[in-house]
Amino acid sequence: MMNDIEEVLFSEEKLKAVVKQLGAQITEDYKDRRLLMVSILKGSVVFMSDLMRSIDIKCEIDFMAVSSYGSGVKSSGTVRILKDLDRDIRGYDVLIVEDILDSGMTLNYLMDLLYARNPNSIRICTLFDKPERRKVDIYPDYKGLEVPDKFIVGYGLDYDEKYRNLPFVGVLKPEVYMKNNKE
């Protein structure tokens, strides 16, 4: 697996420090709130599990799984809900936990959907942000690191469902994509 990595962008130690800082900020901001952390599967599971342990107030967690429709419909930002939340979010201060904010289409759709359910508040916490790629007006309330317009893997992020288990974040070698395209 390591042979497929061209360059390490963020080490395990760096990620740990960034997550710790985000956790401290969220702890401060949500002291008197009813925090519900909502992890978007599957990319955010590694981030979620570290972030929740760096938060020092009572909170609840839940998960959602979504998938974008085929390329034609994707541009409209429509997503399909594969797994919905287990609860009614009225009265909760929802914090969406996402791995990476790219075009912003997925979260834009999700925010509208969750707002309609009348939570007390909704905010977005993303570990990575690719602002250059944004197609809709959406800004994260909390963000870990800005990344260049490169495809990154590791710490939950995948290429073709693999590399999520890398403890650091890196860039794949181009031949990995090319090999897959030939198959």
Binding-site ranges for Mg ion (CB under 5 A): 43
| Contacts (Cβ under 8 Å, ≥6 apart) of 52 | 37, 59, 61
Stretch that binds ligand IMP, among 9-17, 21-29, 111-119, 148-156 (CB under 6 A): 148-156
Q: List binders of ligand IMP among 109-128 (CB under 6 A).
A: none
Q: Report if residue 177 touches ligand IMP, rule: CB under 6 A.
A: no
Among 60, 79, 81, 59, smallest CA distance to 70 is for 79
**91 or 148: CB nearest ligand IMP:** 148
| Residue 29 annotated as catalytic | no
Among 43, 119, 140, 170, binds ligand IMP (CB under 6 A): 43
Q: Two tokens at 30?
A: 């949500």
Count of beta carbons in the 10 Å neighbourhood of residue 32 = 7
**8 or 66: CB nearest Mg ion:** 66
Stretch that binds ligand IMP, among 3-11, 20-28, 54-62, 104-112 (CB under 6 A): 104-112
Instruction: Output the DSSP codes for 41-102.
Output: ETTTHHHHHHHHHT--S--EEEEEEEEEPPHHHHTTT-EEEEE--SS--BT-EEEEEEEEES
Element (H, E) at 16: helix 12-29
Q: Report if residue 100 touches ligand IMP, rule: CB under 6 A.
A: yes
The active-site residue out of 50, 93, 99, 102 is 102
Stretch that binds ligand IMP, among 25-33, 84-92, 117-125, 152-160 (CB under 6 A): 152-160
50 touches which of ligand IMP, Mg ion, none (CB within 5 to 8 A by kind)?
none
For residues 122 and 151, is the Cβ–Cβ distance under 8 A? no
**29 or 138: CB nearest Mg ion:** 138
How many angstroms separate the CA atoms of 149 and 126, rounded? 16
Interaction pattern, residues 5-34, with ligand IMP; x per rule: CB under 6 A: ------------------------------
CA angle at residue 16 from 10 to 20, to 5 degrees? 130
Active site residues: 102
